[in-house]
Amino acid sequence: MPIAKGPLTLATLTASIFAATVSTHHAPQAQSAQPPHAITIDGTQFTRDGKPYEILSGEIHYARVPRDYWRDRLRKIRAMGLNTIQVYSFWNAHEPQPGVFDFSGNLDVAAFLQAAKEENLNVLMRLGPYVCAEWDAGGFPAWLFDGNKIKVRTTDPEFLAAAGAYLDRIGHEIAPYLASKGGPIIGFQIENEYGSYGPRAGRGLGPDPETTRRQAHEYMQAIKALFVHAGLGSEMFYTADGTDPDQMEMGELDGVFAAANFGPGEGKSSIAKIHARRPNQPVMVGEYWDGWFDAWGEEHQVTNTQQQLDELKWFLSNNYSFNLYMVHGGTTWGFWNGANLGDGPDDHYAPETTSYDYDAPIDEAGRPTKKYFAFRDAIAAHTGATLPDVPQNLPIVSVPDFKLEENAPLSKNLAAPQSVKTPESMESFGQGYGYILYRTVIRRGGIVAPLDASKDSGMDASQGAGHGGADSHNSHLGGDTTSNGQDANQSGGSDVPSSASGDGVHIGADGSLTPRKTFAADSLTIHSLRDFAAIYINGKLVGTLDRRMKEDTLNFAFTENSATLDILVENSGRVNFGRALPDGRAGITDSVVFNGAPLQNWKIYTLPMRAPTDISAKSAKPGAAPQPDPIVGWSKHKPDGPAFYRGHFTMDSPADTFLDVSSIQKGFVWVNGHNAGRAWSIGPTRTLYIPAPWLNKGDNEVVVFDLFPGATPPSGTAIGIGSASVPSPKTLRGTTDPIIIKPPTAHEDPGIWCEQGCGQQFASKP
């Protein structure tokens, strides 16, 4: 319902919510007096200028495509025969700090919409505030999770106020591009798949369905009210959900058109459910999953093109509107990747890769695939239109091997710490992404003394003395020898320290999985680790814990009376879908226990790693003037712990390339200051897409952060630690195609993760 334009107050918002009708069985209302070229609903069909209209759409996200390439991708979408794009906006990218907004560069949504308009494409906008999208926290800003007080995706007044401020601000950017003002935006999706989440956070309608439905509809009405307040109410609103009864009941709105999301093989059954529940509205497939995403340590996803083509032809033959998710996936650069965490006992935390190729019709580098041309032919046959010529591919080149000759230890790049009694999450220190180091002193028996930072022997102490407080079992930082002095290359494949007590599995140096071994009676438990921890005793690596593997306890032999404990934690990506979404805190969010005693008196070193010139939190403190914080301590000495590495390559003419990062064990890469994304030797991806606009004619600088020293990735070892002694320096190169490991065969189950009950909609490689 209309709300008076002006500052959003909780009283105004609350009044608007409860004034709205929450019945869900009326047909969507056609809008009167629409301007030319707006999309309207007339019974069971969309219309434009009084004529039936099919929405033939493909999904693309401007934040995942280089700004310089927006027009290239849009022209290829148009040449495929599509007339519409559906687009997510990511709240956390646009509002990195409360009240601080960014619509510059790759986030210039107005410029993207202008390009879409000029390329004659309609736009369906999905502003969230929740978007999923395999994006960190489903688009929610990290600062929302500070203290775990704000209840996201609820009618919590603090959440609605924050979401309303974001929608008001982005509404200002996109208002000139509404169809009612002659622009390309023909509709807005209200929230995103809320029916799969609901008031019970993914647990269905529960024992009191009526209360759950009422709460769900109140929330959806509240979000709709925010869109209207933001000045976006002149265009078509719609919702999008799965087609299970609970999902449709909780996700839809009275008087609002409802689209449906599903994957290959589910078209006829899903659309039958739409017809049964909404017989008087058009059919719109909000997301047809024509591919799938990759997760670290899992199989590369290759889906069945023929199955998808057959279903696409069926949509067209029935004049159903649809959106292909994705038509071009692009790249989730930086630390923006999300993670999935299912609800079943066998499900696990699964962070997504930087590549968002998605097995889409247009690949990560913007090249049309066989799937593209098959879909294009089907669309052309249906519409009878003469399609534009497909634009030529942009050049992509190889780059010869180049070495990362210089390195700088992380130990020399720690800013002044903050002191806390017990561990706290990243967000407590004003940090959203990157890494964070927790330091304290442990003593035999678990008694903890206050830490004197000037006298500790942790990661920033001398690491080459060859002594530590623990038996490191051939995985330490103190040089090229194992704990018994044996050369690591002659150790006969000693075990990597077990960190798998969470799932009862031990990972050997050869990658074999066996029942967990107990190295000693000493144990360290991290409760609620988010997400990957490297653990050091007096500067020696004693093991790792990985949330993917459901690990929380490390067993090791502690041989000193006291020692400095360092826990270096990587935020590997917040959960973007499922029950774990409400608590998006990163780092250590609960206690750390050594031999049964909770540890206290911690020093915290924040490492958001914003750029090679800004790696710590010196310039992140509210109200503080920015301070340069570059990486220091560069040398050509062989590193023995977490370190930065630097190298250079030259180009006569900048062109796209895929950077082969096989020599990086676990970390990320900057190219000329751009965060190109994560690298992890477990795969499935071993390359990072580097677009030409990031590159220079002549010299180009690459800076790598790697948790583990050495150039050779582990041989099948799932935890990402290689041998204790491997050659250096690391060597990178550029290739013309991505490098994938462990690709599925035509007869293998691709192992695709999907929400519970989504069905076996994905077949193997065609």
Query: Which are the catalytic amino acids?
Result: 193, 287
- φ/ψ of 530, rounded to 5, equals -130, 85
Q: What is the DSSP letter of 82?
A: -
Residues 6+ apart with CB under 8 A from 65: 73, 106, 328, 330, 331
- φ/ψ of 524, rounded to 5, equals -125, 125
Tell me how far apart the alpha carbons of residues 755 and 707 are, in angstroms, rounded to a whole number: 32
Contact (CB, 8 A) for 74 and 58: no
Residues 6+ apart with CB under 8 A from 441: 448, 449, 450, 451, 456, 562, 563, 564, 565, 601
Tell me how far apart the alpha carbons of residues 533 and 524 are, in angstroms, rounded to a whole number: 12
Token readout for 193 is 């798949």
Residues 6+ apart with CB under 8 A from 645: 404, 406, 407, 639, 703, 704, 705, 706, 729, 730
Closest CA to 355 of 627, 68, 562, 661: 661
In 559-695 the beta strands, taken as DSSP E runs, fall at: 562-570, 575-577, 587-588, 592-594, 597-598, 602-607, 643-651, 657-660, 666-671, 674-680, 687-690
Neighbours of 144 (CB within 10 A): 25
- φ/ψ of 667, rounded to 5, equals 175, -145
Tell me how far apart the alpha carbons of residues 74 and 577 are, in angstroms, rounded to a whole number: 28
Contact (CB, 8 A) for 258 and 24: no
Tell me how far apart the alpha carbons of residues 117 and 211 are, in angstroms, rounded to a whole number: 44
Residue whose tokens read 């079992």: 473
Closest CA to 16 of 2, 28, 26: 2
Contact (CB, 8 A) for 565 and 559: no
Residues 6+ apart with CB under 8 A from 696: 651, 654, 672
Residues 6+ apart with CB under 8 A from 504: 515, 516
3-state helix, strand, coil in the chain (%, to 5): 20, 25, 50
> Cα separations (Å) of 732 from 379, 663, 729?
42, 7, 10
Closest CA to 96 of 129, 139, 67: 139
Tell me how far apart the alpha carbons of residues 736 and 398 are, in angstroms, rounded to a whole number: 5
Q: Is the peptide bond before 684 cis (omega within 30 degrees of 0)?
A: yes
CA geometry: angle 296, 299, 300, nearest 5 deg: 90
Token readout for 540 is 């020696």
